[in-house]
Structure 1
Amino acid sequence: MRQRAERGRRPARRQSGHKRESIPRQAQLFDVITLGNGGDGLARPVVPSEDNTDPVFIPFTAPGDRVLARQTGRDRAVPEQIIVSAPERIDPVCALFGRCGGCALQHLPTAWSLEWKTTLLQTGFRKAGVSDLPDIHQIQSQPGSRRRADLALRRLPGAITIGLHQRGGDPVDLTGCHLLHSTLISLLPPLRDLLLKTDLLKREGDLLINLLDSGPDLLLSTDTAPTTSDRSCLAAFATQYAIPRIAWRRAGTLDDPEILTQIAPARIHFGDAEIEPPPGAFLQASQDGEAAIQAAVIAALPHIPGRKARVIELYAGCGTLTFPLADHVHVEAFEGHPAAVRALQQASSGRRIDVSLRDLNRQPVESRDLASALAVILDPPRSGAGLQMTQILDGKPDVLIYVSCNPKVLFRDTAALLAKGYRLDSVTLVDQFLWSAEIETVCRFSRSRGR
């Protein structure tokens, strides 16, 4: 949507000084036409002026709103008052909405946002060249089910802030959340007290919490190394609140975390497989979202001719898809993170799983190996598969099952796959990031031999 608006702009007039001088400084009325891909309303001025005809993006607005807003950039504005409300607009469930950067769509029903996301997928696939688009299967997580939180830390005089950054600003203290699991929310007050008593945090840091089957798993990233006293406080805290493991690394680095205290095994289960993930490991945002992705991947497998059928899994992580797949086929799993590979190897003993440590962005699995697999399962990072996608396009495996968290990259790859003779067989939309513009999909692509 934004690209379309930018293509329609009139050329800017030459003038002395900065372009910002032509931006209206007083609030004016805008009509919101639609939502952009990021969830902000795309609006046009009610009374265009010579210097103000272009559309702008206004957060926390809905199609049908008439809003009084003040421009902050050539295509950005901030809302000051809703003059006429869209029919779908509702009251946000959270008092922090509009300040906390975690949610963008709480002013709209979750059913409405699910249909909006579905429409975005339909539009994107058609633009990519899909002429026979299958029905999109929809799955939506429930509020209070998110089990993973990446939070900002900040020390203030006499207080600790734990929360999410507001847009372009400081973190907002998370006093409640309708997204996160209640177990995580209940930990935040004692964590503030703990950090206030220790010397771990001088100014800023981060906290990543994964709610594992064994309990909360904490990874602290702070600007000060833990002292002996800090370690004792953390051990006592872990015992009091039944936290199996607390790890630490210096803020701003990707160093391997140091485990500061561990009172019990840190465990998560994929079916009957028990895995000890490394601190800060990637997990799907919710258990029901994870189950939906797993089920969609299994359903997308081609007919299996026998127990020796082989699939190749790329970007396997700690085994979210590996272990469910191994109940049906032999899995060759590739992953570039050493700690994740160790966890996967330890749990895969005696199963039909071969695990390889491989940086797929630099050393992709080659096309000839991909071509001989029953199917290739691709679950790339948000930036996409890079060189690995090139090998997939060259190898032309009969079936590609693509798990995507970035529609823009997915649509780009879809166009490339269609050009190689693939068709899009199925699409599952998993909406496990409620009240955000994030979209997860599972797609099955296939091609007939000889095409």
Structure 2
Amino acid sequence: MASLIETKVLSFGANGDGLVLIEDKPAYVPETVPGDTLKLRYDGSRHVEVIDLLSPSPDRVAPVCSLFGTCGGCAMQTTARPALLDWKIGLVRHALNRAGFETLPRFESMQVPAESRRRIDLAFQRQPGKIILGLHRRHGNVVDMTECHVIDPTLLALLDPLREVLGGLGAVTGGGDLQINLYSSGPDLLIATDSALVPTDRVKLAAFGREHKIPRISWRSRRRPNEGYEIVAQQGPVFHAFGAVKLTPPPGGFLQATNQSETAIADAVLAALPALNRRDPIVELFAGFGTLTVPLAQKGRVLAYEGHFEAIAALKSGAIGQRIETTHRDLTRQPLIAKEFAKARVIVLDPPHAGALSQMDHIARSDVEDIIYVSCNPQALQKDAALLAKAGYEVLSVSVIDQFLWSTEVEAVISFTKSKKRLSRRQT
């Protein structure tokens, strides 16, 4: 028998849903904000239904997008942006506390503006007479992205022409995936379909690239992703600039979500470096194609390691004349061991979402005094940082970057040190 309950949202859960307690048990309510007072229908299970919002939280705002609640891209548009940033700062603080760090410095933070995201992964689906192109709803089908307040307007303007060209491709027999990166040279497309491209598909994609000034369009098989990609149309050079250095990323290459966050992350890493001369070795792990490598090379000699061959090859070919040495190495299967860090002045790492895994144990065993860790996952940060806490490191600085607006994702740059001299200047 269902019953009606009045209760207040206490906090956010990990997925951005509001946490309430019913009979002392947690339940999660989407699109609610801590401080909301709700009337709920409760049927004895963990599922609850909102009957009424009795009293809104001071941090509640109206969603900016008409697709909110349907599109799976944004989970937290009902939360005021300052409150959202505060919550993400709390996630990073909690992760470091749980890792064993009780004394923490004052946190720096920044939040990107709306309509600034330059990297997006979309899905598309052929339906009678049209193509649906957008993001998946929670546990559901693709929702057509007719509106978006997150992505750069340049990318949003491409979606209608993309629907048209995808609808004319023989390879699009059902669904597929589309990744777009907005590099310095312009949009870069990687299309994945179940069926192979037919000759007329290549002609259509080349014409599309010319018309919309897209330097490169690539394709891969969605059924056989390990076979790599094929460049099917290229109208001009593809590059991304880090200052005066231009690198050519591979199709589907990793790019920080926004230009503003790329700058903020690099600035935070550089600010966290110890005093260096230009010959001091900086060991950079999970280097990608150079987002941090190029800025770091202005401060010291960078030894960059990356497991993705095409990314490290792009960095190597574009960094000629810089103080950068590149090594292709899968750090998950073949981590650098402690003695390989013997000459390092500082270690900088930007691991994938799962964290540094076995590599972190070897870092913690090394004699390197200063570690700078770029995190995209508080849970992985907690696990990796716990090894550093046990090894005697302390947290010197923390910068939190909210580059995935209205989502639960958060980026952070944390510097760890054993230097008593540096810790004496820490601001708490």
- TM-score when normalising by structure 2: 0.94
Which residue number corresponds to residue 224 of structure 1? Answer: 195
Q: Counterpart of 2:36 in structure 1: which amino acid?
A: D
Which residue number corresponds to residue 404 of structure 2? Answer: 433
Go from structure 1 to structure 2 and tell me whether the alpha carbon gap of 1:388 and 1:130 turns closer, same or farther (over 3 Å shift).
Answer: same
Unaligned runs of 5+ in 2: 421-428
State which drifts further: 173-182 or 108-117: 108-117
What is the Cα deviation at residue 80 of structure 1? 5.2
What is the Cα deviation at residue 201 of structure 1? 1.1
Alignment pair present for 1:131 and 2:108:
no
Which residue number corresponds to residue 295 of structure 1? Answer: 267
Distance, in Å, in 2 between the alignment partners of 1:77 and 1:199 is 45
Alignment pair present for 1:39 and 2:16:
yes
Unaligned runs of 5+ in 1: 1-23
* More relative contact order, 1 or 2 (CA 8 Å, 6+ apart): 2
Go from structure 1 to structure 2 and tell me whether the alpha carbon gap of 1:159 and 1:294 turns closer, same or farther (over 3 Å shift).
Answer: same
Q: Counterpart of 1:42 in structure 2: which amino acid?
A: L
Alignment pair present for 1:193 and 2:161:
no
What is the Cα deviation at residue 85 of structure 1? 1.8
CA RMSD of aligned residues (A): 1.7
Q: Deviations over 1:319-360 (max 9, x none)?
A: 000000111100000000111011011011111110000000
Q: Counterpart of 1:168 in structure 2: which amino acid?
A: H
What is the Cα deviation at residue 27 of structure 1? 7.0
Which residue number corresponds to residue 31 of structure 2? Answer: 60
Alignment pair present for 1:141 and 2:112:
yes
Identity of aligned residues (%): 43
Q: Deviations over 1:360-392 (max 9, x none)?
A: 001111211224200000100000111111110
Alignment pair present for 1:257 and 2:234:
no
Which residue number corresponds to residue 382 of structure 1? Answer: 353
Alignment pair present for 1:281 and 2:256:
no
Instruction: Say which of 103, 121, 140 aligns to 1:169.
Output: 140
Q: Counterpart of 2:167 in structure 1: which amino acid?
A: L
What is the Cα deviation at residue 434 of structure 1? 0.8
SS at match of 2:226: coil
Equivalent positions of 1:411-426 (< 5 A) are: 411-426=382-397
Q: Deviations over 1:90-111 (max 9, x none)?
A: 1100000011111111101111
Whether contact under 8 Å (2:361, 2:387) holds in the other structure is no
Whether contact under 8 Å (2:2, 2:44) holds in the other structure is no
Distance, in Å, in 1 between the alignment partners of 2:265 and 2:221 is 33
Distance, in Å, in 2 between the alignment partners of 1:171 and 1:71 is 30
What is the Cα deviation at residue 70 of structure 1? 5.6
SS at match of 2:359: helix
Go from structure 1 to structure 2 and tell me whether the alpha carbon gap of 1:195 and 1:28 turns closer, same or farther (over 3 Å shift).
Answer: farther
Which residue number corresponds to residue 241 of structure 2? Answer: 269
SS at match of 1:261: strand
Whether contact under 8 Å (1:72, 1:78) holds in the other structure is no
What is the Cα deviation at residue 197 of structure 1? 1.5
Which residue number corresponds to residue 19 of structure 1? Answer: none
Go from structure 1 to structure 2 and tell me whether the alpha carbon gap of 1:436 and 1:71 turns closer, same or farther (over 3 Å shift).
Answer: farther
Go from structure 1 to structure 2 and tell me whether the alpha carbon gap of 1:140 and 1:101 turns closer, same or farther (over 3 Å shift).
Answer: same
SS at match of 1:193: helix
Instruction: Say which of 377, 396, 403 aligns to 1:406.
Output: 377
Go from structure 1 to structure 2 and tell me whether the alpha carbon gap of 1:240 and 1:310 turns closer, same or farther (over 3 Å shift).
Answer: same
